[in-house]
Amino acid sequence: MIPSTYPAKDEIARLTARMLLEIGAVNFNTETPYTLASGLPSPSYIDCRKLISFPRIRATLMDFMAVTVMRDAGFEAFDNIAGGETAGIPFAALMAERLALPMTYVRKKPKGYGRNARIEGVMGEGDRVLLVEDLTTDGGSKLSFVDAIRETGATCGHTAVIFYYDIFPETRKTLGDHGVQLHHLCTWWDVLTEARAQANFSPETLAEVETFLKDPRKWQEANKK
């Protein structure tokens, strides 16, 4: 069902951060930093995949995403909802259901047999496609998915995520230079604010996390093993 209520953006951000904290999707560890896929250390880690196991929360967040996209991009802006393999697939399915649109998904690489396709499902030439993912860091991983969509003759000028890091200044430029507008529900800054309000972590931990968020490259360089 298409949502009919429209919370303010700051309230969507606060509630999204609260939900992520409530289910333990947010992890802070300043003493033993996490290792990111890049191999670099980080005192913060978020696991949006956990959301699919919490029906009330996932439903609310998908309502939030639907109204955010409709408000920012338009009520009749899309013909197809595509999920990026693998984390984006369940959220794309939920969004497609809400917006009453076809759903497809994009493989990270061709499957290597049969049609050797990257797009699964039906995507037509000229379709206006919304790419849905769980999160974005620097925006780089979205470009391959966007290119695969465009190779079908469809267009893709928008991507929607639940969580946007908002700590790497090049992210919006990377996407913008590729003709893609980013829509998101909350950022690390929203999570940090809500974590302080709820006293989920020690003040010392949150202060160190804030130091990282303000200059992640410098923090990573100083904390390399």
Is residue 135 included in any domain, yes or no?
Answer: yes
Q: What are phi and psi of 164, to 5 degrees?
A: -120, 125
Domain enclosing residue 151, as ranges: 9-22+50-186
In a domain, 112, yes or no: yes
Q: Specify the pLDDT at position 114.
A: 53
When pLDDT is cut at 50, 70 and 90, the band that residue 115 belongs to is low
- Compute, in degrees rounded to 10, the torsion defined by CA atoms 182, 144, 132, 91: -150
- Tell me what pLDDT residue 5 has: 72
How many domains, in total, are found in the chain? 1
Helix count and strand count (H, E) for the chain = 8, 10
Residue 215 lies in a domain: no
On whether residue 128 sits in a domain, the answer given is yes
Tens digit of each residue's pLDDT (9 = 90 or more) over 149-190:
999 999 999 999 999 999 988 999 999 999 999 999 999 999
pLDDT tens track for 130-139: 999 999 988 8
**For residues 219 and 212, is the Cβ–Cβ distance under 8 A?**
yes
Tell me whether residue 121 is in a domain.
Answer: yes
Inform me whether the pLDDT recorded for 19 exceeds 60: yes
- The set of residues, in sequence order, having a beta carbon less than 8 Å from that of 35 and lying 6+ positions away, is 41, 42
Does a structural domain hold residue 146? yes
